[in-house]
Amino acid sequence: MKKITIAIDGFSSCGKSTMAKDLAREVGYIYIDSGAMYRAVTLYSIENGIFDGDVIDTEKLKKAIKDIQISFRPNPETGRPDTYLNGVNVENKIRTMGVSSKVSPISALDFVREAMVAQQQAMGKEKGIVMDGRDIGTTVFPDAELKIFVTATPEIRAQRRFDELKAKGQEGSFEEILENVKQRDYIDQHREVSPLRKADDALLLDNSNLSIEQQKEWLSEQFGKIV
Ligand code: C5P
């Protein structure tokens, strides 16, 4: 069976990762969460005194970026990949509000994007990959055979993120999360380099009123039309 590249882009907390992970498992493809890579760079910046939330020491980050190694390894307990930063499992740390509130300014930096896009393209060289993010269909894999752009209302997305954090026992008020979702949407759409936008040839999916099961079905159907 021929292998293709699948790009799933969209707004924050719209369920992209869930659908991307499920599809990858179903069809035996590699799954890469590109947002986790920007989150890992952000965590590195916080922990190494590069970003205090106000000012980014871009010179220091420019020097450090080549030494930031991000990889993914399967977690036998969850059956999903965990994110590793320079060999250390940071999966839980990168999902906190502390990182979520600082990730968009870091990912707006051109040299950070350049480094991440190069790593992502290397990961997808052999095809057979599902990658989710903001610029996968437009910049990372412009020739992807299947491109999806996912959206849902900010309130629904904030509720999903709230439930997710609560399930992990992490703090966060609904209002704070909603504000973060809106803020990230704004920065992601208005940055100069690779702003979040739907690729012209991407299929639009508004999943505000879809269950995970319905969304899964829809995606499998789209995959089946191509492969
Ligand atoms: O997907 P997730 O919400 O975890 O992504 C975190 C942040 O990383 C986004 O808000 C965005 O600023 C950035 N990002 C990006 N390009 C990608 C994936 C994520 O700029 N391909």
Give phi and psi for 28, each to the nearest 5: 75, 35
Query: What's the order of all strands across the beta sheet hosting 70-74?
Result: 70-74, 81-85, 88-89
| Residue 12 CB–ligand 1 contact under 6 Å | yes
Which residues constitute the domain of residue 55?
A: 5-226
Tell me how far apart the alpha carbons of residues 10 and 8 are, in angstroms, rounded to a whole number. 7
Give phi and psi for 72, each to the nearest 5: -125, 135
Count the domains in the chain. Answer: 1
Asked if residue 10 belongs to a known ligand binding site, the reply is yes
User: What is the pTM for the complete model shown?
Assistant: 0.94
What the block records as the tokens of 93 is: 């740390």
User: 26 CA distance to ligand 1 centroid (A)?
Assistant: 24
Asked if residue 101 belongs to a known ligand binding site, the reply is no
Whether the Cβ atoms of residue 32 and residue 123 lie closer than 8 Å to each other = yes
User: 222 CA distance to ligand 1 centroid (A)?
Assistant: 24
Looking at residue 153, which CATH number applies to its domain? 3.40.50.300
Q: Is the ipTM of this complex over 0.95?
A: yes
| Residue 11 CB–ligand 1 contact under 6 Å | no
| Residue 162 CB–ligand 1 contact under 6 Å | no
Name which residue sits closest to atom 11 of ligand 1, judged by CA: 104
Tell me how far apart the alpha carbons of residues 56 and 53 are, in angstroms, rounded to a whole number. 8
Amino acid (one-letter) located at 195: P
User: For each of the chain's 227 residues, which pLDDT tens digit applies?
Assistant: 899 999 999 999 898 999 999 999 999 999 999 999 999 999 999 999 999 999 999 999 999 999 999 999 999 998 889 999 999 999 999 999 999 999 999 999 999 999 999 999 999 999 999 999 999 999 999 999 999 999 999 999 999 999 988 998 887 899 999 999 999 999 999 999 999 999 999 999 999 999 989 999 999 999 999 99
| Residue 7 CB–ligand 1 contact under 6 Å | no
Beta pairing class for 146-151 and 5-10: parallel
pLDDT in tens, 15-35: 899 999 999 999 999 999 999
Asked if residue 15 belongs to a known ligand binding site, the reply is yes
| Residue 139 CB–ligand 1 contact under 6 Å | no
Tell me how far apart the alpha carbons of residues 44 and 88 are, in angstroms, rounded to a whole number. 11
